[in-house]
Structure 1
Amino acid sequence: MLLLPSLAQKIMYEVKKLLDEDIIIVDTNGSIVASTDEKRVGAFHEGALLSIKERRTVVITKGDTNALKGVKPGVNLPIFFSHDVIGVIGITGNPDQILPYGQLLRKMTELLIQDNYYNEQHEWRSRMLEAFVFDWLHLKDWTAAFLERAKLLQINLEPKRQILLLYFHHNRTLAQKDIWQLHPFLNEQDVIIRWGNDRLLIVQTVDEHTTTDLTLQKIKKMKAFMEDTWHLCTSLGAGQPVLSDQLLHSYEQAERALTVAMKHNRIVFDEELRLEMCLKDISAETKRDFIQRVLGSIIEDVELISTFQAYFDENMSLKATAEALHIHINTLHYRIKKLEQRTKLNLKSSSDVVSLYLALQFLDESTKIN
């Protein structure tokens, strides 16, 4: 493993929190790659090179400053990773005073390097998984290279699979270390990856014991953890189980279910959908035309639009709608009359009620897209 300058700078920043003395970090060539004194970066440090070659702590006294190039009084400690010396951390100051801190600082440095290494490994695997799942969804035929990548990533392509799409409603991107905290909620062969900035995609393994109820319980636990731990408001859409080589079908279903789930921060399974199955296949142009025909006369009236969105959210209950909007029920009756006059709709007509509902659904969709 190489001790890159960016990592060295990060280590120095963390170590500096514990000590006021000047600190340097030196690579295996004896070159200072990070220092609290920026003038020393790039300079050669003979004491550190000696520490690397002999794999031991080197104490630099005032007398040594004339004999060794680029040194100051202090302590140089080799940094180990997997039994190899990958660099040196140097502390400037009175050796007798700073030597007791040396082992502690070296151990902290090695832990930081180890943590960075495993984070990089997780990120590498995460990127590999993301690319693999993308191909899994879109490849028409599995190539030998694809099957080899599945083997490398230890992904079993035999069982049925089900796509779960999870959306979080805050402007936050989860780090890979956050995502790894969700693995206890998943089965061993499930795959979880980032899917854009605000979504997670889970490829769930399905066997004879997998039921909608069990999947729902698993999702609820994971959803509660995310909301309690990261204060994320989440929605989830679940596709239906499919053969592993038909994963795209489950993904499309999950995406459709998520569109519905996002409206109320819910968990929605594709198998629950009825009307939404048809609405998803209507073209954007047809939806725009329909919105204009039904709502064109009130499209700019925010109060009326929001009133009837609430009306349908409350299952067309006048009392519940008035309470939700914090208005008197007579005010609601006035707005209904106003809507009917301006749109020529009759809310006692089933056909007109359906038209209004669909137009508002399409309008909500187009607002989110735009």
Structure 2
Amino acid sequence: MLSPHLAKKIVSDVRRLIHEDLIIVDTHGIIIASTDPTRIGQFHEGAFLVCQEKQKRIITKEDEGTLKGVKAGINLPVFFHGDVIGVIGITGDPANVSPYGELLKKMTELLIQENYYTEQLQLEARALETFVFDWLQAREWSPSLHERAQLFHIDLASSRRVIIVSLNETKQTISVDMWKYVQTVWSDARDVIVRWGNDRLLILQTDDDKERTIAKLKTMQRALLDKYDVTLHIGCGKMGDSKQVYHSYKQAERALHIAKQTGDIVFDEDLRLDMCLEDISPATKQELIKRTIEPLIHDEELLHTLRTLFANDLSLKRTAEALHIHINTLHYRLKKIQDYTKLNVRHLEHIITLYLAIRFLDETTKK
């Protein structure tokens, strides 16, 4: 309960309030944290007696000659759930340091209690994450899975949609505090929300209403931006039977990949061409770039011309206007593209090939 690491943190926090030397002693009388590092590991007889008697003890100058390892000051028992778990000691003239005693004792107990509840939340979060992982991987539901679901008050009979929420900032992580805050903002006890790795949240949703889901996701985005200054990418799978939740998870992953490129909330059911493109390997994409537009890689003018052509639905008139060039100049550029790539923009298969190559190039550039 009172580890050396926590004791060191408490000493550091409490030291901000007073300048006297502090020690924290375990129930065996061993100093586990101190503002004087040379005292760590020493036996403190006064603190040991405090643990036995469960009441504070004033250490006088006379006691320094009779009690092992002590210095004048005050030692106070630290309680947690009614039991003494350690002692905090303040070194100095007892008349001067005693007024701080009860305040520092209470502060120490509050820090220990806060640490305890944080650890409990961590355990709860990890247990829930483990359950959801097993749920996603299970091909057949065992009696054990049902029992664990009941412990977490999870209804396995409901249909579910998997939503993956990813932090945009690569250096930030999903803390327990952020996880609990999302649960509060989401405010639907039927849904399961877990941390998924360092920078993701996984939501197993029961509400099939797409518009309501979008509204809730946007509310969550605003709330996390305001409180934690983070932006989110969000991919949503299809609603399906809880036994097939793994399929929704894979769909959510695919949708998230698109969301990271577009910045939108993406539902897998809305994907069409993107659904096919996601299944193409990075190596194949790079090979297509190499076989088509590689000669244009360093000619930003021609690449920009192609992108503008696609953005204007292949309309030469609108493309020329958007580029602020004469239509003959546009024809000249397209002829250069054909010379370099051996692909004609008036040929359907060729124009599709160029479009895909540009998409793959832009995707690589963003990465």
Taking structure 2 as the reference length, the TM-score comes to: 0.89
Q: CA deviation at 1:350?
A: 4.4
Post-superposition CA distance 1:38-63 (Å, at most 9, x none): 11101111111121111111111112
Q: Determine the structure 1 residue equivalent to 2:243.
A: 245
CA contact (8 A) 2:73 2:90 kept: yes
Q: Determine the structure 1 residue equivalent to 2:258.
A: 260
Q: CA deviation at 1:68?
A: 1.5
SS at structure 2 position matched to 1:330: coil
Query: Do residues 292 (structure 1) and 290 (structure 2) align?
Result: yes
Q: Determine the structure 2 residue equivalent to 1:203.
A: 204
Post-superposition CA distance 1:60-97 (Å, at most 9, x none): 11122122211111111111111111101101011111
Structure 1 unaligned regions, length at least 5: none
CA contact (8 A) 1:318 1:329 kept: no
Q: Determine the structure 2 residue equivalent to 1:139.
A: 138
Post-superposition CA distance 1:153-183 (Å, at most 9, x none): 3322121111111122212112111221111
CA contact (8 A) 2:305 2:323 kept: no
Q: CA deviation at 1:318?
A: 8.8
User: For the structure 1 residues 149 and 23, does the alpha-carbon distance in structure 2 shift closer, same or farther, using more than 3 Å as the test?
Assistant: same
Query: Do residues 218 (structure 1) and 216 (structure 2) align?
Result: yes
Q: Determine the structure 2 residue equivalent to 1:183.
A: 183
CA contact (8 A) 2:174 2:201 kept: no
User: For the structure 1 residues 30 and 125, does the alpha-carbon distance in structure 2 shift closer, same or farther, using more than 3 Å as the test?
Assistant: same
User: For the structure 1 residues 267 and 63, does the alpha-carbon distance in structure 2 shift closer, same or farther, using more than 3 Å as the test?
Assistant: same
Q: CA deviation at 1:305?
A: 4.8
Q: Determine the structure 2 residue equivalent to 1:159.
A: 158
SS at structure 1 position matched to 2:204: strand
SS at structure 1 position matched to 2:263: coil
Alignment of 1:166-177 (within 5 A): 166-171=165-170, 172-177=172-177
CA distance in 2, matches of 1:322, 1:38: 75
Query: Do residues 76 (structure 1) and 75 (structure 2) align?
Result: yes
Q: CA deviation at 1:337?
A: 5.5
Q: CA deviation at 1:238?
A: 0.6
Q: Percent identity?
A: 48
SS at structure 2 position matched to 1:87: strand
SS at structure 1 position matched to 2:109: helix
User: For the structure 1 residues 28 and 240, does the alpha-carbon distance in structure 2 shift closer, same or farther, using more than 3 Å as the test?
Assistant: same
User: For the structure 1 residues 231 and 353, does the alpha-carbon distance in structure 2 shift closer, same or farther, using more than 3 Å as the test?
Assistant: farther
Q: CA deviation at 1:150?
A: 2.2
User: For the structure 1 residues 312 and 100, does the alpha-carbon distance in structure 2 shift closer, same or farther, using more than 3 Å as the test?
Assistant: farther
CA contact (8 A) 2:167 2:173 kept: no
Alignment of 1:42-57 (within 5 A): 42-57=41-56
Superposed CA RMSD: 2.8
Find runs of 4+ consecutive structure 1 residues off by over 6 angstroms. 313-323
Alignment of 1:1-370 (within 5 A): 2-171=1-170, 172-186=172-186, 187-206=188-207, 210-299=208-297, 301=299, 305=303, 308=306, 312=310, 329-330=324-325, 333=330, 338-365=336-363
CA distance in 2, matches of 1:317, 1:48: 85
User: For the structure 1 residues 288 and 77, does the alpha-carbon distance in structure 2 shift closer, same or farther, using more than 3 Å as the test?
Assistant: same
CA distance in 2, matches of 1:104, 1:317: 77
CA distance in 2, matches of 1:159, 1:359: 43
SS at structure 2 position matched to 1:253: helix
User: For the structure 1 residues 301 and 5, does the alpha-carbon distance in structure 2 shift closer, same or farther, using more than 3 Å as the test?
Assistant: farther
Q: CA deviation at 1:247?
A: 0.6
CA contact (8 A) 1:233 1:265 kept: no
Q: CA deviation at 1:195?
A: 2.1
When structure 1 is superposed on structure 2, of 66-75 and 139-148 the one drifting more is 139-148
CA distance in 2, matches of 1:218, 1:180: 16
Structure 2 unaligned regions, length at least 5: none
SS at structure 1 position matched to 2:262: coil
When structure 1 is superposed on structure 2, of 291-300 and 165-174 the one drifting more is 291-300
User: For the structure 1 residues 95 and 313, does the alpha-carbon distance in structure 2 shift closer, same or farther, using more than 3 Å as the test?
Assistant: farther
Aligned residues: 362
CA distance in 2, matches of 1:239, 1:139: 18
User: For the structure 1 residues 318 and 266, does the alpha-carbon distance in structure 2 shift closer, same or farther, using more than 3 Å as the test?
Assistant: farther
User: For the structure 1 residues 82 and 336, does the alpha-carbon distance in structure 2 shift closer, same or farther, using more than 3 Å as the test?
Assistant: farther
